Amino acid sequence: WDVGKRLSIDESVQRIHADYPEFPLALIETQLIGWLEMEFAPESYSQEQLHELDRLTEQWIDDHNRERKVWCNSMRTQHS
């Protein structure tokens, strides 16, 4: 982010939603993850840096999806 603060995917979704409340959170989340998966990287990156960026991005998205699954399962249990 412009202030140099590192945010989770959820925090990023919330920040975007604050600026664009007319967009549903789920849509913002889907679009953000899609953008991350597009594999944008500076042209100056070496092949090794590209692989590392790809690995870290995949890990970040996988962690987010795991957390989301745990959260959804706990919500289902609470409201069952």
Distance CA 14, CA 57 (A): 19
Model confidence, pTM? 0.68
Let me know: does 12 contact 25? Beta carbons within 8 Å.
Answer: no
Q: State the pLDDT confidence band at 46, using cuts at 50, 70 and 90.
A: very high
Burial class (CB in 10 A: 0-12, 13-18, 19+), 47: exposed
Q: What pLDDT shows up at residue 4?
A: 75
Higher-confidence residue of 9 and 69: namely 9
| pLDDT mean over 37-53 | 87
pLDDT in tens, 8-30: 899 999 999 999 999 999 999 99
Percent of the chain with pLDDT over 70: 85
Question: Average pLDDT, stretch 18-43?
Answer: 90
